[in-house]
Chains A and B, each alone.
Chain A
């Protein structure tokens, strides 16, 4: 058993190197497509979550805590549940069936946006709320316009905000349930890294599945590394 396992892993490693460095067209296009889908979903999530997070931090209004609790709940939203709900909405027999976007990249962007928005919202609200209130009073006392105030707050919390965005990106790029259900895993059209891994595994092509999994890990690591380096740079500056 152990020998078979090792064989599979080494074969997978070998094949992964060949596929990645020969710039295999299928692998390359799946990778680029994955980045496009998740990148688009992340940008939309940022556009929704950041203004909302600022609002939740700066204004007290009825339902504020309720929204924050919903965002916290949404952080753990299982992607398959999102997939099911979005499917029911977008199928022809559903309320938005007329749009005809089920089994298209657009449907996948919608599903991933639903997954990553609560993550970014909850984490960035927490980040903004950690800014010392006295700092805000100082800024206001120095005569800053509201817009300058918002900018300074975002700047103050920049590292935590970037971590929030990366967490949202990571949550969306690694989910498989929703992409499978609303995208349909159609070759050359809606196939992303995670759904391709599921398919290749069930086909028994473990080498191809492993190759794709290495790329996915590499992407996730690149994002994390970038963030870590940025954060550590700040600390180095402090100790200089």
Chain B
């Protein structure tokens, strides 16, 4: 056997063989798991008394959302439940709020779960988003080194705290990624009379909340963060909560659908692919009483306090009072 005397030939042949197995395994498994998935979701629906959830025609649903919902682990709890109840298959795409909203506007996503009320309203007014519903809130906190060089512990509110940081030129790390958190931060700077914070003391990471907290911790800097991400990473950070409980620090989440009629004007092809039925089902699911209860319980076992407060049906202006 000349073949076996040529190690490189043998090795190459084995490589091809391995890849071939992978490839065939890929197709076979994919089809199989899709089948079992369909059958389990079918039986799951049948088991639920009263709720008749026939397998939807278009099963795929793209949810554009923010990194905070994914990083906290909330989506890992809610999405399997939604899939089981309705038979849809959700693709959660966790990106910055800026991209999440843009994906909805262009019709690249079916439904959005985001937390930047002003930008959301802009989409609703344009007609790009419909069926906007209040889901929940958590709050932002200002964290920083325990030494608190700008003395913001004694500040009256978040605006005062930001003023003090700017006056003392104390190091502040911003996400600078156009995310909901970043937008909130810029909003507070504006209220503090600083149109565009800049200078050596103001640094922008352009990264997600988790990474930005790491940077702030390393540099002993202040930053604005959502409570959930901070709690989840608290042990690994040398940062303390220095300012909290201010109504203007609320982080309010809404869910809303992409409007196929709006997308149709610019891109009929994309509009045809929007899964409006699935999007509506997801909005209904998020404001459903049972889901709201799960949201309110989420995180209690791990952190001793909930990460999100369910708000469906409430008036947005009544929150935090």
A residues sitting closer than 8 Å to B (CB atoms) are 4, 8, 35-36, 39-40, 42-43, 91-93, 97-98, 100, 102-103, 105, 158-159, 162, 184-187, 189, 199, 201-204, 206, 226, 230, 233
Contacts and interface: CB of A to CB of B under 8 A. Distances in A.
Interface stretch (B90-98, B140-148, B182-190): B90-98
B107 interface: yes
Interface string B39-80: 000000000000000000000101000010011010010000
B196 to A, nearest CB: 27
Contacts, number: 88
A103 B273 contact: no
B134 interface: no
Given A40-B19, A186-B91, 15 more contacts: A36-B23, A92-B269, A92-B273, A97-B269, A97-B270, A102-B108, A103-B62, A184-B92, A186-B92, A203-B71, A203-B210, A204-B233, A206-B236, A226-B11, A230-B8
Given A40-B23, A184-B93, A202-B209, A162 B62 contact: no
A158 B8 contact: yes
Nearest to B90: A186
Given A39-B22, A202-B211, A204-B210, A97 B233 contact: no
A203 B232 contact: yes
A103 B22 CA distance: 21
A42 B22 CA distance: 12
A93 B109 CA distance: 10
A230 B6 CA distance: 11
B11 A199 contact: no
Contacts of A187: 76
Main secondary structure of the interface of A (DSSP, over half): helix
B232 A204 contact: yes
B78 to A, nearest CB: 13
Contacts of A189: 91
Nearest to B19: A39
The 6 closest A-B pairs by CB, nearest first: A202-B210, A204-B233, A92-B270, A93-B106, A93-B270, A184-B93
Given A204-B232, A230-B7, A36 B208 contact: no
B36 interface: no
B154 interface: no
Interface centre among B11, B208, B274 (most CB of A within 10 A): B11
B107 A230 contact: no
Interface string B220-242: 00000000000011011000000
Contacts of A42: 19
Interface in B81-131: 91-94, 103, 106-108
B25 interface: yes
Chain B contact-residue range equals 35 or more
30 contacts: A8-B236, A36-B22, A36-B23, A36-B25, A36-B26, A39-B19, A40-B22, A40-B23, A40-B26, A42-B19, A43-B19, A92-B108, A93-B107, A93-B263, A98-B269, A102-B108, A158-B12, A162-B12, A184-B92, A186-B91, A189-B91, A199-B70, A201-B210, A201-B211, A202-B209, A203-B210, A203-B232, A204-B236, A226-B11, A233-B7
B267 interface: yes
A103 B71 contact: no
A12 to B, nearest CB: 12
Nearest to A231: B8
Nearest to B60: A100
Interface in B185-221: 208-211
B108 A91 contact: yes
Contacts of B209: 202
A167 B113 CA distance: 40
Nearest to B106: A93
A189 B232 CA distance: 25
Contact of A92 (B8, B94, B107): B107
